[in-house]
Structure formats: C-alpha cells, structure tokens
Amino acid sequence: MGLPALEFSDSLLDNPAFRERLRCHETELERTNKFIKELIKDGNMLISALKHLSASVQKFSKSLQEFQFECIGDTETDDEVNVAQSFKEFSQLLDTLEEERRRLVSRHPLLKCQRTAQFDMSGLPAAMVGSSGSPCYICQPLASFWALSVSPIEGSDELVLG
C-alpha cells in the first residue's frame, strides 16, 4: 500500500480528508528521515570498525613480514625456510587484501549519504509550525499565500480559513 496522493486542488478545500492524507505524508517523512539517520549512523560505525580492523591486520602483516627464526647452528632447516617463506607470502596476501578493502571503503555509497544527512529535515516542520503547534503546518503558508487568515478551532488540531 502506498501513500494517498496529495492534490493541490484538495488543499484549497482544506477538508479533514486532505489533512489526514497530509498527516500520513508527514508521518512517513519523519519515519524515513529517522531510518536514514540510523542507517548512516550504523554505516559510520561499520566504516570505523573496518578502519580499526585494517590497522590491526596491517600490524599483524608487518609482524609476519619481520618474523625471523632463531636457528640452532649456522644454517636454517628446510622447514624453517618454508615456514618463514609462508609467513612472508601470507603477509603479502594480507597487504593486498587490505589495499582492496581500503579502496572499497573509500568508494562506499554511505560516505556519499553523509552529505544528505547534513540536510536536517526534522527542522522543517518546526520552522513552519506556528506557536499553536498544529500538525497541519502546511495550511498556514498556503493561507498567507492566498492572503487568508488562519485561526485554530478550540480544542482541536483543525484550522479555519477565513
């Protein structure tokens, strides 16, 4: 099920059905805004964790690269040479993996979403709502556009255009 359509001609009538549809759109906008903010927050936590993981893997890779067997005698055994070579190859594999991970994280779409998060949609209704706090905040700017007066109905969220 989708949201009911908002028709400009219905706003002229200012009927309860239009206001209900408008409230549905406002609620959906707030829910979507909250979801996007949570998504960006979780994405930032993931990117931060990936950066910490990357630093740990690089440190481990460096340790593998620098590892040296202390051999008894003057020469290393074949097993010691093979293990040392395996450590170096594994270190190179980890370095390659981390390089690819850094590239992936640097081009991640969530980083682009941060620009969207800077636009705070939650401030819009507060700027449009009058001192009465009426949920039908779009009626007041429309009324001023038409040079009509807007007055709230006592004990209700409804507004009367006069």
Q: Could you report the per-residue pLDDT of 2-57, keeping only the tens digit for each?
A: 887 777 777 777 788 888 888 888 999 999 999 999 998 998 898 888 889 988 99
Q: How confident is the model at residue 132 (pLDDT cuts 50, 70, 90)?
A: very low
Residue 78 has pLDDT above 50, yes or no: yes
Sign of CA dihedral 12, 16, 18, 23: positive
Pairing of strands 150-152, 159-161: antiparallel
Whether the pTM exceeds 0.85: the reply is no
What average pLDDT does range 112-139 have in this prediction?
50
Helices of type H across the chain = 8-13, 16-66, 78-106, 109-117, 123-128, 139-145
What average pLDDT does range 118-136 have in this prediction?
48
- The dihedrals phi and psi of 36, each to the nearest 5 degrees, come to -65, -40
Q: What is the pLDDT of residue 116?
A: 52
Q: What is the pLDDT of residue 60?
A: 93
Return the structure tokens found at 15. 């009927």
Grouping H, G, I as helix, E, B as strand and the rest as coil, residue 159 is: strand
Q: What is the pLDDT of residue 158?
A: 54
- Cα angle 18, 29, 129 (rounded to 5 degrees) comes to 65
Grouping H, G, I as helix, E, B as strand and the rest as coil, residue 141 is: helix
What average pLDDT does range 87-108 have in this prediction?
86
Residue 127 has pLDDT above 80, yes or no: no
Could you state, in order of their start, the residue ranges of all structural domains in the chain? 13-120, 122-162
